Amino acid sequence: MNNASSLGFSNYARLKRTTQTNFNDIRFFGNFFVNNTNLIIRQKSSRKLLSLNKFYSFNTLLLEKNTLKDVHIRYHSNQGFGLFIKELDIIDLNIELGIAFDNSDYLNTQKKTSYFKTGSFMDLKLYSTTLKFELEYFKQVIVEFENYDLSRVYFLGEFIIPLRKNLSLTVGLINQSYIENIFKNENNLIFTNISFSNHLGWKF
């Protein structure tokens, strides 16, 4: 556990494609400090279920390196079903239930850690600004090592302020906590980015 405050360099990239029924998203998120690295590459896809427009299935793949948490490398996957609670002009809210597993440090091993996953996601538009919240809980199903539970909570909050066309300021907070030290201040990672976004116009 790293309790000391430090400054570093933050960057973020995202490629998203949506249709009326499908959602595909690739994110790269990194924080680089003198002695530590927090790096996440995540791919997520989802699809609405036929005529049940409030429900969707999802699949997520994630590769993480987080030396702040002594995670040298973690390959993570989760899948399940989601429900749209609210879809309005000012707020989008949905929840997810599913299963997940980790491969830590050894990508080619057959040994996996299994979890039950719940999540809640919200986008809130306040005039020209946007608030984004993501909260996911991974409950370990089988504890393979005595007194060593990898159940954890992941929280992401973003405050996006437009500066001019396609340009915005993003201020955010990430908190990834294991159950024994949930939401402690030393787990907070605060970042700020100048963001540029544009529609690529790709058709395929």
Percentage of residues in the chain having pLDDT higher than 70? 89
Coarse DSSP helix, strand, coil percentages of the chain, rounded to the nearest 5 percent = 5, 70, 25
Cβ neighbourhood burial of 41 (10 Å; 0-12, 13-18, 19+) = middle
98-125: per-residue pLDDT in tens?
Answer: 999 988 766 556 677 899 999 999 999 9
Q: Which pTM was predicted?
A: 0.85
pLDDT tens, position by position, 183-192: 777 778 888 8
Q: Please tell me the predicted confidence (pLDDT) of residue 2.
A: 44
Rounded to whole angstroms, how far apart are CA atoms 18 and 8? 33
Q: Amino acid identity, residue 146?
A: E
What is the mean pLDDT of the segment spanning 56-76?
A: 88
